[in-house]
Amino acid sequence: QKEVEQDPGPLSVPEGAIVSLNCTYSNSAFQYFMWYRQYSRKGPELLMYTYSSGNKEDGRFTAQVDKSSKYISLFIRDSQPSDSATYLCAMSARSGGYNKLIFGAGTRLAVHP
């Protein structure tokens, strides 16, 4: 079983929809949680990061961490065709080294006009 599980999709939604992306994890020591967006043939772009638990909002993006359930989410409001990309969750623990990120498989999102 992988440390971080993420549904690879693909997920197809109409423009303007609310998108919910999720990851579950098994290592309770994870404290740093990040979401990246990766366009085809590009490097991952950091969207959101959260230390420990709670919610964080940035524009159309909201990240949630539920450590009791070992579950993290990224919500995208008013989705746009330009949001079409692969979304990767990543996390790290102090014990493993905060900079050693463990990634989910990534969810491919397609937003159609």
Options 59, 69, 99, 113; binder of another protein; rule CB under 8 A: 99
Q: Tokens standing for 82?
A: 């330009």
Among candidate residues 10, 20, 34, 7, the one with its CA nearest the CA of residue 79: 20
Please tell me whether residue 110 binds another protein under the rule CB under 8 A: no
Least distance (Å) between residue 41 CB and another protein: 8
Binding map of another protein across residues 51-90, x = CB under 8 A, - = no contact: xx-----------------------------------x-x
| Residue whose CB is less far from another protein, 44 or 79 | 44
Binding map of another protein across residues 28-47, x = CB under 8 A, - = no contact: ----x-x-x----xxxxxx-
Among candidate residues 28, 38, 31, the one with its CA nearest the CA of residue 91: 31
**At a CB cut-off of 8 Å and minimum separation 6, what does 11 contact?**
19, 21, 107, 108, 109, 110
Among candidate residues 17, 21, 2, the one with its CA nearest the CA of residue 72: 21
Please tell me whether residue 94 binds another protein under the rule CB under 8 A: yes
Four-CA torsion 71, 31, 97, 23, nearest 10 degrees: 10
Chain residues binding another protein by CB under 8 A are 32, 34, 36, 41-46, 49, 51-52, 88, 90, 92, 94, 96-106
